[in-house]
Amino acid sequence: MSAGPKLMAAVIGEVASALPGGCILGTLVEKMMEAREEAASEILVEEIRRGKRPIDEVDPDEMVAKVYRYSRAAQEGAARRNLRMLARVLTHGTFEQPTPAAQFLSDADILAGLRHEECVLLGLWAKVRAEYPQEEWDINSGVIYSTCRPDCSKSVRSCSPTG
């Protein structure tokens, strides 16, 4: 376990020691932080193995900044699905383009806190983007609406972007 979670567990233990059973709280926090770090490490290793770019193409300074931000998201309690998204962006980039550290740090703040519904919507958007070339991205074309709701015909007003 890195110094950050140990320090936090120690502080919580000290504060809680004034309460009955407070020593146990510090131990529980330490165990919880260790479990979070272990789960996050497993997810990151899986995504590194699935990566398409050779590890020697990665700038070490950029990678350190990205991994540190990733581990911070894990310590803060980001959901596993959010950690998986962060790990994929960290290792694969976005749409086959490497993500610079500055951009990753900004994106990580957003991705780490997404709710389940927002993750589903983001996944759907990525699927639509991968399926249709960017030239076809016209809000009035109905591409997004017909993809999101395949049972929808353009004659139905509720699905039409203009009607």
Each residue's pLDDT, cut to its tens digit, for the chain (163 residues) gives 456 666 666 666 666 666 666 667 767 777 888 888 899 999 999 988 887 766 666 788 888 889 899 999 998 889 999 999 899 888 877 666 778 888 888 889 999 999 999 988 988 887 887 777 665 555 555 555 555 555 544 444 444 344 4
pLDDT single digits (tens) 85-108? 899 888 877 666 778 888 888 889
Question: Which residues make Cβ contacts (< 8 Å) with residue 50, sequence separation at least 6?
Answer: 91, 92
How many C-beta neighbours within 10 Å does residue 140 have?
8
Closest CA to 148 of 119, 128, 132: 128
CA–CA dist 71, 77 (Å, integer): 10
Please answer whether residues 89 and 111 qualify as being in contact, where contact means their C-beta atoms are separated by less than 8 angstroms. Answer: yes
Which pLDDT does position 73 carry in this prediction?
92
pLDDT of the residue at 82: 92
- Cβ(109)–Cβ(133) below 8 Å: no
Q: How many whole angstroms separate alpha carbon 4 and alpha carbon 95? A: 33
Which pLDDT does position 157 carry in this prediction? 40
Domain residue spans of the chain: 34-132
Q: What residue type is assigned to position 54 of the chain?
A: P
